[in-house]
Structure 1
Amino acid sequence: MTGRRRPFPAPARVLPDEDAADLLELTREIGEAELAPRAAEAEERAATAHEYPRDTYRLLGKSGLLGLPYPEELGGGGRPYTVYLQVVEELARSWASIAMGVSVHVLACNAVATAGTREQQERWLPDLLGGELLAGYCLSEHESGSDAAAMRTRAERSGEGAEAGYRLHGTKAWITHGGMGDVYTVFARTSPRPESGQGPSGSGISAFLVPGDAPGLSAAAPERKMGFDASRTSQVLLDDVRVGADRLLGAEGDGFTIAKRALDAGRLGIAAVAVGVAQAALEDAVAYAKDRRQFGRAIIDNQGLGWLLADMATAVTASRALYLEAARLLDAGDEPDRVRATASMAKTFCTDSAVRVTTDAVQVLGGAGYVRDHRAERLMREAKLLQIVEGTNQVQRVVVAGALARS
């Protein structure tokens, strides 16, 4: 611990012990020394030359930051989500694409960690949590984004005895690490979707851990996005991809339950990314407003602008408190409906707030905020995506309303 005191509005952290404080300090040091200086140039190169910062994930894995919420006996850090998510926030404050990639990687590991057999966990988790293997999460499809139960990707049984396995066919869309993943957690139908009223719509879906170099698996060209260029997104194509029966995670038909359980934590990951982005925008806006002088005084001393900054700081602080409350419920093993609803509240509130805060940061910087010499415009573009990924904010409101109706 360096004991450095960061100026207001530095985030007030919830740290249960000295080890957690040291972990956050390590994350901050990595972010400020290794991530922030590279971010702007790497985003530009990713947009034009499709370069990918794969080395960064190895660094984070070696630093112990890729397996924090998983048990130590599985190779993880054994830390609660309240600590892990603050790490994600700190990473996002320096480079949002990397924080997004970490959140998705941890999400993709969830099926192995929670539904895999002991043999599967011992075989794959050490390299996944240590950063040697990078994982993607293949749930969404073009026709089944928010309605994941409507997926069409299928997995058919093949072979017998030692040759028993599955053949996967379909196309997954909007896949983070698409084309760069060493493995993918893929969800596919092992039985047809039931007719309306004949059973749960998510039944018949199973989860598989598919090697990234499996014959028949390929990735389309990276999507040309508004932001997050260094977080590669593409379709993943499955053309008669054959995997052994040992690649099935959990029992056949358990995939939708596995996916929903992971998404509760994944949505909190996005909430933490949003708070990190908003925190960075707030810090930049405050620093600029203190330095910029008009009419003989710093512009922060003008009430109209000072109040705008005050609202931004309030939104960031409230967002952090909400995602930490949702994480506390998750760590405590609270009832699933309450955890899911609170995670959806946090994802919605934090990402909506990030859009407002980053937009206001651009306004504070004026013309300077609209050019790429300052990161404010990139943060504004990045915040918008966070309202969409891991289930749009409109879908999150449906989840919350449903929980209210059942209460």
Structure 2
Amino acid sequence: MRDFLLTEEDCAFRSEVRAFLQRELSPRAADIEDRQDWNAVRHVVRALGEAGYLRLMFADLYRGSLKKPGLTHATILSEEASAINYAFETTIATALSCAYPLHRHASAPLRDAYLEPILDGHAIGAICVTEPGTGSDSADMQTRVEYDARTNEWVINGFKRYISNASVADVYIVYGVTPRDDGAEPRVTAVAVPKDAPGIGFPRNYTFMGRRGCIVGEVKFDDCRVSADHLLGNEGEGFAIMRGMFNFERAILGGSGLGVARSAFEVARRHAQSRKTFGQFLGCKQLIWDKIAQMSWRIDAAELITYRATKMYDAGTDGKALMKEAAMAKLVATETANFCVNEAVQILGGDGLTKEYGRTEQLYRDARALTIVGGTSEMVKYLIASRDLPELKINL
């Protein structure tokens, strides 16, 4: 089914970006995985920026050869990068998730200060949503974003965790609640916070079983202050900004899942055709060809669902209208990635558990994050069902 929904131009772009990543990312993938080499990550990010690939989502800022660049091409980039190294792809996907609200909702001076350096590959962005008591339930955030009329500043107090690019990002999109004078429920507000803002701190980074080379940690705000012009959109519009960002992020995660799944499938396919047991190639065994067939059809289904969502977005669909399709892309592709890496390890047997016989064990560790980040599988199922059961208010 390879690239069934993609045009000839899309397919040519895939070949182009695949060759680029083979030149720039593949030689550095081992350093990113084994030594968690941030310099290697930054080198490839800069190369992507200089080549114009970080501008794919922003047609008004794009300077390449594509006639209509968009989410489809950003997702192709995500897929091809994840097939080589998912940890690296997480870094650029997070930076683009930061660039997305800056492009749509920041003032012109703010875009010049923070968006352009990200798109050029000279800066890294981060998104601050998750808190100790708040994951998918973003409405229960405890972080406060309050306006100080005396100094004409926004003041942020709170604590965020599981933040990709924490401590190494140059700018952070921070979501927090703003109390209302009328006593009504507080609303979510979004602000851009530079890394050197007074009151921002980075207590620690985490050690994960997978995605080695992707820096993830905590961000603390203690009377952190930014000037009033660092507001994104208007006060209280943060939830709508976040929803648009999540649609974008979940489609991109569809590409991430596809890249990991495809990589695992290729390892398993080659092994099944070269390894002999009891006088036959492994792929001749019924239980093995069943695994190969299941991996194959799941990847095709994930591809169709993912690129349906990106094509819908590029055709102008967004917000609530795209929520279900973006959620389905994320759900199906990331669950497929986990299925495929599990089966690949099983097909390879002992070889699948070692670093000495390939990277299947790395794919296995990396894939596990995919069904959690950007909204758990359980949460995106809720989003899908809420569209299909419009007359009910589903109790989470």
So what's the TM-score if we normalise by structure 2? 0.91
Partner-residue secondary structure (3-state), 1:406: coil
> What residue is the counterpart of 1:12 in the other structure?
3
> What residue is the counterpart of 2:163 in the other structure?
175
Partner-residue secondary structure (3-state), 2:234: coil
CA distance in 2, matches of 1:334, 1:216: 39
Instruction: Write out per-residue CA displacement over residues 184-212 of structure 1, whole angstroms, 9 at most, x where no aligned residue.
Output: 111122225998xx66xxx5211111111
With over 3 angstroms needed to count, the CA separation of the structure-2 counterparts of 1:216 and 1:236, relative to structure 1, is: same
Task: Choose from 111, 115, 125 the match for 1:125.
Answer: 115
CA distance in 2, matches of 1:173, 1:193: 29
> What residue is the counterpart of 2:208 in the other structure?
225
Offset at residue 51 of structure 1 (A)? 7.2
Instruction: Write out per-residue CA displacement over residues 174-233 of structure 1, whole angstroms, 9 at most, x where no aligned residue.
Output: 1000110011111122225998xx66xxx5211111111222212132211120121111
> What residue is the counterpart of 2:43 in the other structure?
55
Residue 379 of structure 2 aligns with an amino acid whose one-letter code is: V
Task: Choose from 154, 162, 168 the match for 2:144.
Answer: 154
Offset at residue 397 of structure 1 (A)? 0.9
| Count of matched residue pairs | 388
> What residue is the counterpart of 1:140 in the other structure?
130
Contact 2:57 2:71 in 1 (8 A): yes
Task: Choose from 364, 378, 389 the match for 1:394.
Answer: 378
CA distance in 2, matches of 1:27, 1:240: 43
Residue 283 of structure 1 aligns with an amino acid whose one-letter code is: E
With over 3 angstroms needed to count, the CA separation of the structure-2 counterparts of 1:221 and 1:150, relative to structure 1, is: same
> What residue is the counterpart of 1:6 in the other structure?
none
Deviates more, 1:331-340 or 1:144-153: 331-340
Offset at residue 239 of structure 1 (A)? 1.5
> What residue is the counterpart of 1:360 in the other structure?
343
Contact 2:24 2:47 in 1 (8 A): no
Offset at residue 110 of structure 1 (A)? 1.2
Contact 1:14 1:82 in 2 (8 A): no
| Equivalences for residues 74-113 of structure 1 within 5 A | 79-113=69-103
> What residue is the counterpart of 2:20 in the other structure?
30
Partner-residue secondary structure (3-state), 2:57: coil
Offset at residue 30 of structure 1 (A)? 2.7
The answer to whether residue 248 in structure 2 is matched with residue 258 in structure 1 is: no
Residue 386 of structure 1 aligns with an amino acid whose one-letter code is: L
CA distance in 2, matches of 1:212, 1:375: 35
CA distance in 1, matches of 2:31, 2:277: 31
Contact 1:58 1:130 in 2 (8 A): yes
Deviates more, 1:256-265 or 1:25-34: 25-34
Gaps of 5+ in 1: 1-8
Partner-residue secondary structure (3-state), 2:158: strand
Task: Choose from 169, 180, 187 the match for 2:175.
Answer: 187
Instruction: Write out per-residue CA displacement over residues 222-258 of structure 1, whole angstroms, 9 at most, x where no aligned residue.
Output: 2111201211110111122111111111111111110
Partner-residue secondary structure (3-state), 1:242: strand
> What residue is the counterpart of 2:250 in the other structure?
267
Contact 2:62 2:69 in 1 (8 A): no
CA distance in 2, matches of 1:289, 1:194: 66
Contact 1:74 1:126 in 2 (8 A): no
Contact 1:171 1:238 in 2 (8 A): yes
CA distance in 2, matches of 1:277, 1:149: 32
> What residue is the counterpart of 1:276 in the other structure?
259
- TM-align CA RMSD: 2.3
With over 3 angstroms needed to count, the CA separation of the structure-2 counterparts of 1:84 and 1:128, relative to structure 1, is: same
With over 3 angstroms needed to count, the CA separation of the structure-2 counterparts of 1:343 and 1:264, relative to structure 1, is: same
CA distance in 1, matches of 2:89, 2:223: 33
> What residue is the counterpart of 1:383 in the other structure?
367
With over 3 angstroms needed to count, the CA separation of the structure-2 counterparts of 1:32 and 1:207, relative to structure 1, is: same
Residue 137 of structure 1 aligns with an amino acid whose one-letter code is: I
Offset at residue 142 of structure 1 (A)? 1.2
Partner-residue secondary structure (3-state), 2:206: coil
* Percent pairwise identity: 28
Deviates more, 1:57-66 or 1:71-80: 71-80
Residue 397 of structure 1 aligns with an amino acid whose one-letter code is: K
Contact 1:14 1:83 in 2 (8 A): no
CA distance in 1, matches of 2:47, 2:174: 26
| Equivalences for residues 262-341 of structure 1 within 5 A | 262-334=245-317, 336-341=319-324
Task: Choose from 225, 239, 245 the match for 2:228.
Answer: 245
CA distance in 1, matches of 2:83, 2:23: 13
> What residue is the counterpart of 1:3 in the other structure?
none
CA distance in 2, matches of 1:68, 1:382: 26
Residue 139 of structure 1 aligns with an amino acid whose one-letter code is: V
CA distance in 2, matches of 1:341, 1:40: 37
The answer to whether residue 217 in structure 2 is matched with residue 234 in structure 1 is: yes
> What residue is the counterpart of 1:371 in the other structure?
354
